[in-house]
Structure 1
């Protein structure tokens, strides 16, 4: 998550925020603002626009309190049932128009949101845009309120139809002849419309008047709609009769015919609404078992459409953007999938490094970590994009977080950047043996974005912040090779032949049989005298060691000290220790020594 915080910092902008006071205001607030603007002596285009918008906001507030659902009466006869179905279709049409209005308003709000985000707080036209934004939000809320009200009306109509079908008898009519006659009329009307359209195209090409032809086409299209509505009325009557007589096969065949007809002449949303009504009536009258038995692929598809519609209903909004349950689920799925793919990638790279000799452990860790974080970042932004969140809308959050960098998050960012430097610079790699500040020694076992893990020879894992490795003095014992010179100090007593000491120690080293001693013309074993101390003549054994033993300095030093001790002891060379001699001069007064016996001795 720290990495995600860091990414937010990259989007630091200083943009204007949406004025929530205007959005949440009421008529009283808008009248006060209108009064203040009206008091201004100078008027310009901006103030005129603001006045117009405030008046519209006041009118919207009045309209929102006057919304009342249409009055519905329980059906008493067959015609009332058909009239309720017509009312249901009219309500569905109104609802469809309102939903399209909401979609248009959402697009407008997105544009305004981007324009406001691109302005500074002191921009001259900020008030105009904010008032217009508030007006669209209020208009959308009013439209949504009407949609919710119409949805309740549709539910009431369904309930009235269900109760009416159970109690009001529907007569069987000779629908076959009527439907055939209507279909014949429709064919004639369509041919006439086609002929008029052809003639209309000719007149357009010749530049002649087309108003008469257009009126004829409009008249025929109106007549066509009336015929379709008449046909639907007959089919609805047949559908109700089939429901009352429990003929499930006829119910679903008629339902399919109605749906296919509405698909040709009505929008998909209206078709879905009619299909939903018919499905609800069939389920309520026939029962779920019969409905499932008689359901066809069309009914299953309708059910899936209903589920899809419910899943896309907004649960809440973020900065005016509706978030549905499906979007939320999809965003979480994308983010979790990104983490899962990143984890698989990390494991895959590490497995390759174990099998390949050309893949060093440090390179594998670098590629694994960078690839993992990159995949998680991509998944995160894809998830945000799926929700429909405009990344520019995160500017204010990023601005607030940028202030936190200078305070609580400074070390986190510094460690993160230091980790990237270490991974690319490769001055410290996994497996290297480090010495930090002369106190901490150990192998580098892991390099992460924030910290590096060092395992000491005592098998203690020490977490070191990456910035410490960049800012402090670090000794890398194995950066280029595994060869190091050890300085083994020792001393002999005064009076010892120093040449003999050098010879004895060098021969002991040469005959030691230690396979890790490294000798070349430039790098070879030496014994040098370093000083004459208080109690000893001081020497140092300078010996080059290669291999894994350089990683255990105490153990290696101990081996050579034991070797030196045995060699000196074997040749009778005295190894001194601190001692003091007391000399009493003759001219000094005698020293009186008194011995006292302890009591009870």
Structure 2
């Protein structure tokens, strides 16, 4: 390959290789380098010996007894997570002491300084692989923290940063360096991760305030979420030196988008705020919508409410439906509600005696309310049917007659047993069939 046409990056790689080879040859032929290498080995062995002694001691000291969940126990467990860093950090510290000794004796310490950076790299690697548990932080450690530590170890960090800062990416009327884009992505991810973590902690604290109404708790949680992420956005813009006035055009574009494509999202968001403020429907309420959807509200988001049906299915209902359509709210789980169980008896039965018999039998069920006169079971004559006399027994219970409770089937079973025990016939349809002979048909 012609030297004049050779790529610049290849020339830089050759130059770095030649420098590394010269450094390695100098280290191999230098007594001072061999002494520094010996100090490196001694520092590592000493750190390993100290690690074997200190790690069991700290494990016994920091491990909480039993399953305590106090703040001190959580703090001790948090510190216990960092035990894998003892070995590389001790080696790094002992190597630092050895570096001071070699520089005072030989006036140089390049070998031991390189070993010191290796131990620091091992500490960063252990931190990213063994200590970080959150998926996002683990990803950040693997693809950002470890590469930065590796570049620092081999002495190329400053050169790479300079190169990234000099590489400009044009974007319309704007331009930015690759280094700026990387910083923005990393800082943005970290700040919004902290915002998400803060939001989760704040939501837990708010939901533990049982004296607050459920709607107020949900509204406070939403307000805290908006506030936290709003502050996170402002902090990110301030750190990156972005002038907020330059976002006016972006804000106008978002406004146009809300007016056209995002109007449903905006409507659902505003409807959710109205629901939380008025408390017409909140988490824990059993609701039935005009479209037939029915279930218990288990979660309310900025866009929709999630209903859980009696058979465990989740229905996502946009918040706007709670405002623009008819909604039946059976709210206040545990309050008294009335239901009825229909049945029929034969025309041969003593119709006047049936209401008292059924009312007494239904009142014996443990879930039937009989505390007031209005709540006692009431058996009523409803109609004279084709096959029998139609009755219905009305009863009051605490809760909702859904798939979990099934109050009505239990009441109907009680009615069946009572009718059978009193020899009261339950009718069934009768039909008269006429059989004609051939002579009759001829006539």
Band of TM-score, shorter chain: 0.5 to 0.7
Q: Report the secondary structure of 2:436's partner residue.
A: coil
Aligned: 1:490 with 2:343: yes
Residue 273 (structure 2) aligned to one of 420, 438, 446: 420
Change in Cα spacing, 1:323 to 1:332, as seen in structure 2 (3 Å) is same
What is residue 357 of structure 2 aligned with on the other side? Answer: 504
Report the equivalent of 1:530: 382
Report the alpha carbon displacement of residue 352 of structure 1 after superposing the two structures with TM.
3.2
Looking at structure 1, the residues matched to 190 and 218 of structure 2 have their Cα atoms a distance apart, in angstroms, of 21
Distance in 2 (CA, whole Å) between partners of 1:317 and 1:383 is: 22
Counterpart selection for 1:592 from 399, 413, 437: 437
TM-score norm. by structure 2 comes to 0.56
Superposed counterparts of 1:141-180, under 5 Å? none
How does 1:273-352 map onto structure 2 within 5 Å? 315-316=168-169, 323-324=176-177, 327-352=180-205
Q: 3-state SS of the aligned residue for 1:485?
A: strand
Query: Which SS does the other structure have where 1:540 is aligned?
Result: strand
Q: Is the 8 A contact 1:483 1:545 kept in 2?
A: yes
Deviation at 1:433, TM superposition (A): 1.4
Which residue matches 1:565? 416
Alpha-carbon distance between aligned partners in 2 of 1:381 and 1:496, rounded to the nearest angstrom? 80
Asked if structure 1 preserves the Cα contact closer than 8 Å seen for 2:375 and 2:396, the reply is: yes
CA distance 1:463–1:438, change in 2 (3 Å): closer
Paired with 1:413 and 1:355, the residues of 2 have a C-alpha distance of 30
The unaligned stretches of length 5 or more in structure 2 are 1-107, 115-155
1:124-176 CA-partner distances (Å, limit 9, x unpaired): xxxxxxxxxxxxxxxxxxxxxxxxxxxxxxxxxxxxxxxxxxxxxxxxxxxxx
The Cα of 1:472 is off from its aligned counterpart by: 1.9
Would the aligned equivalents of 1:430 and 1:444 in 2 still touch at CA under 8 Å?
Answer: yes
* TM-fit CA distance, 1:517: 2.5
> Paired residue for 1:469?
322
For residue 408 of structure 1, give the secondary structure of its aligned residue in structure 2.
coil
- 1:498 is paired with a residue whose SS is coil
Q: Which has the higher contact order (CA 8 A, sep 6+)?
A: 1
The 5 Å alignment of 1:171-570 reads: 315-316=168-169, 323-324=176-177, 327-352=180-205, 356-358=209-211, 363-437=216-290, 439-479=292-332, 482-510=335-363, 512-547=364-399, 550-552=401-403, 555-570=406-421
CA contact (8 A) 1:493 1:576 kept: yes
Q: Structure 1 566/482 Cα, relative in aligned 2: closer, same or farther at 3 Å?
A: same
Q: Distance in 2 between matches of 1:560 and 1:553?
A: 15
Secondary structure of the equivalent of 2:357? helix
Counterpart contact for 1:433–1:444, Cα < 8 Å: yes
- Displacement of 1:306 in angstroms is 9.7
Corresponding residue number in structure 2 for 1:577: 428
The change in CA–CA distance for 1:334 and 1:424 in structure 2 (over 3 A counts) is farther
Is 2:306–2:315's contact at 8 Å kept on the other side of the alignment? yes
Give the distance between the partners of 2:224 and 2:168, measured in 1 at CA: 34
* Cα shift at 1:310: 7.5
Are the aligned partners of 1:342 and 1:373 in contact in 2 as well (CA < 8 Å)? no
Q: CA RMSD in A?
A: 3.8
Offset, 1:554: 7.2
Partner SS for 2:331:
coil
State the alpha-carbon separation in 2 of the partners of residues 480 and 515 from structure 1.
Answer: 15
SS at match of 1:449: coil
Displacement, 1:449? 0.6
Question: C-alpha distance in 2, partners of 1:424/1:335?
Answer: 32
Conservation of the 8 A alpha-carbon contact between 1:335 and 1:376? no
Q: What's the CA shift for 1:379?
A: 1.9
Q: 1:343 to 1:561 in 2, by over 3 A?
A: same
Q: Specify the structure having the higher radius of gyration (Cα).
A: 1
Could you tell me how far apart the structure 1 residues matched to 2:190 and 2:221 are?
Answer: 17
Aligned length: 291
Change (3 A) 1:566 1:480: closer
Contact 1:349 1:364 in 2 (8 A): no
